[in-house]
Chain A
Amino acid sequence: SYELTQSPSVSVSPGQTARITCFGDELPKQYAYWYQQKPGQAPVLVIYKDSERPSGIPERFSGSSSGTTVTLTISGVQAEDEADYYCQSADNSGTYEVLFGGGTKLTVL
């Protein structure tokens, strides 16, 4: 069955750029979305339709897509960005099932 694959963890120092990637065979045909989740809190949408940023999300968050890979980039990482990040897309086979990646833990050193 179709899956979305993320690296388990990424570590960066404050002020550096963090790149979190998500791989999936259907990503060229479907949009990807990104959510930030801090401990004990509900997820928050940070990127939709591959690269659009919802209102209220800082400009340092951006998204891009290339083939079977989508990337969430956080420029000038701040301590408050430490969180789990999940990509989301959908099964294009006709079931329309929603898929989440396994999540990436971003650690700010």
Chain B
Amino acid sequence: QVQVVQTGAEVKKPGASVKVSCKTSGYTFTHYGISWVRQAPGQGLEWVGWTNPSNGKINYAQKLQGRVTVTTDTSTSTAYMELRNLRSDDTAVYYCARSYGDPFYYFDYWGQGTLVTVSS
């Protein structure tokens, strides 16, 4: 069965960077995209970015361009999301999700989420 497992919670200071990992199993990693979605406390869902592991295509939310990088390691079926120059409003649960479709996609399997707290 498809599984998407993320790393544990992180606490960072403003200006620092965070890298969240997402290990997948139960399907062929290069046959689907991987997206990252975040959710600030008490707020709605916000898309962060997407990548196609088979060809390296990437797309990021415009508001995060320049601060976010999404990568994959096809040898371990793992995806990574790095967010730099963290601010307090980056505090959120970050989800990775298997994504079906290109260039338009949806999210059929989600990780459990990783809480990233940015605080001085």
Contact = CB atoms under 8 A, between A and B. Distances in A.
Interface of A: 30-31, 33, 35, 37, 42-45, 48, 54, 86, 88, 90, 95-103
A31 B106 CA distance: 10
Size category of the B interface is 20 to 34
Interface of B: 35, 37, 44-47, 50, 59, 61-62, 95, 100, 103-108, 110-113
Contacts, number: 58
Given A33-B106, A43-B37, 15 more contacts: A43-B45, A44-B110, A45-B108, A48-B108, A86-B44, A88-B45, A90-B105, A95-B62, A96-B59, A96-B103, A96-B104, A97-B62, A98-B35, A98-B37, A102-B44
Nearest to B59: A96
Chain B interface main SS type: strand
